[in-house]
Chains A and B, each alone.
Chain A
Amino acid sequence: MARTLINVPATAKRGEVVEIKALISHPMETGFRTGSDGALIPRDIIHRFACTYNGEEVFSADLFPAITANPFITFTTVAEESGEIALSWTDDQGNTQTETAKITVGQDPVE
């Protein structure tokens, strides 16, 4: 499993816009580079990233070879209810990794 740093606020007010950050260690090999033997290094990038909030997809992205190694993905969502935020991604080797975090949403809505 790739080393990751996931940052989801532990608590939020109902209706609050929260920022979710994911830093994923991955070579993001473009498929355009050659190795020391002159042969093409096969492409290996994360090509799909998605986030679900209590099972419902709230963000997704298709990734392409121009994206740096160890990609850092941030986005926002609206905190509606307490529950689980799950981030998952799939690379060209077919590896899928999922990381989850709990969020507790207070009763008081944001004014």
Chain B
Amino acid sequence: MTVRRSSLAAAVILLAGTALASDTDRRSGFDFMGPQTQAMQADDTANPGMLSVLDGEDLWNTPAGAANRSCADCHGDAATSMRGVATRYPSYDEKAKAPITLDQRILQCRADRQEAPPLAWESPDLLALSAYVAHQSRGLPVETGADPQLTPFIDQGRELFTQRQGQLDFSCADCHDANWGKRLGGAVIPQAHPTGYPIYRLEWQAMGSLQRRLRNCMAGVRAEPYGFGSPEHTELELFLMTRARGLPLETPGVRP
């Protein structure tokens, strides 16, 4: 009897552990950081990500490309025109018949509307534009995933999130659903909500995109990371953003 009860208890614990963090218990990576790092993110004059946001503001107002137009020429004041935009990405693109990320959307405008050469993934300029646009949604809840056309792509992202990979044979869910709050070496395992991107990561001493962050996690389990701009990255991001629905955006987040 005693044996039965304890194995049942173990099964219950296992179930609770593997279940997705419930709506009421979803926490941003911010909540797992030390008070000093939290203070750094919270103070706009101490948050190094704000340097990139300010660079983005300059770029927003600078004409570029053969069209010689600035983002502001078409979109005006970003505080109004870009407010809430980042809360809906990745979103469905009619031409691509697939979801695209905010970075891809910005690159589209740069190619089609400004007729300018593309910005490289992880280049300071792309990160700055992305940080500036996403910053206009700081404090607003994530809304990604409402469009029914996205459903198959969200499912695909969930698939990627739960599939084991790498020499260490871990899925994302093994860490971020089943073991969040526990430690991996010196780091606390967060729930993997992508609410602060692009972030300033202290380990990088630089800004970086969500894709760079995910590539770090994939390399961590000795898997071959997906390429920048690959459909797998977009699907994972789409799934993660849908999973984070309702949490406020923080861009620019600071992470250890």
Contact (A69, B205) CB under 8 Å given A21-B46, A23-B45: yes
> CA–CA, A6 to B48, complex, Å?
12
Contact (A25, B51) CB under 8 Å given A5-B45, A72-B46: yes
- Is A3 a contact of B45 with CB atoms below 8 Å? no
Contact (A70, B48) CB under 8 Å given A3-B54, A3-B55: yes
> CA–CA, A25 to B52, complex, Å?
9
- Is B206 a contact of A23 with CB atoms below 8 Å? no
- Taking Cβ atoms with an 8 Å cutoff, the residues of B that contact A are 40, 44-46, 48, 50-51, 54-55, 202, 205-206
A68, CB-defined interface residue at 8 Å: yes
CB pairs A–B below 8 angstroms (30 shown):
A3-B51, A3-B54, A3-B55, A4-B51, A5-B44, A5-B45, A5-B50, A5-B51, A5-B54, A6-B45, A21-B45, A21-B46, A23-B45, A23-B46, A23-B48, A23-B50, A23-B51, A25-B48, A25-B51, A28-B205, A68-B202, A68-B205, A69-B205, A69-B206, A70-B48, A70-B51, A70-B205, A72-B40, A72-B46, A72-B48
> What chain B residues lie within 8 Å of A5 (beta carbons)?
44-45, 50-51, 54
Known: A7-B45, A68-B205. 8 other contacts (CB 8 A): A5-B50, A6-B45, A23-B45, A23-B48, A25-B51, A68-B202, A69-B205, A72-B48
> What chain B residues lie within 8 Å of A25 (beta carbons)?
48, 51
> What chain A residues lie within 8 Å of B44 (beta carbons)?
5
> CA–CA, A5 to B46, complex, Å?
8
Most buried by A among B45, B50, B54, B55: B45
> CA–CA, A11 to B95, complex, Å?
55
Closest residue to B204 on the A side, CB-wise?
Answer: A69
Size class of A's contact patch? Answer: 10 to 19
Within 8 A of B (CB), among A43-59: none
> CA–CA, A5 to B200, complex, Å?
15
Within 8 A of B (CB), among A62-76: 68-70, 72
> What chain A residues lie within 8 Å of B46 (beta carbons)?
21, 23, 72
B131 → chain A, closest Cβ, in Å?
12
> CA–CA, A103 to B138, complex, Å?
31
> What chain B residues lie within 8 Å of A6 (beta carbons)?
45
Closest residue to A74 on the B side, CB-wise?
Answer: B46
A1 → chain B, closest Cβ, in Å?
12
> CA–CA, A50 to B7, complex, Å?
66
Digitize A14-28: 1 where CB-to-B-CB distance is under 8 Å, 0 elsewhere: 000000010101001
> What chain A residues lie within 8 Å of B54 (beta carbons)?
3, 5
Closest residue to A25 on the B side, CB-wise?
Answer: B51
Closest residue to A6 on the B side, CB-wise?
Answer: B45
> CA–CA, A3 to B54, complex, Å?
8
> What chain B residues lie within 8 Å of A68 (beta carbons)?
202, 205
> CA–CA, A104 to B51, complex, Å?
27
> What chain B residues lie within 8 Å of A72 (beta carbons)?
40, 46, 48
> What chain A residues lie within 8 Å of B45 (beta carbons)?
5-7, 21, 23
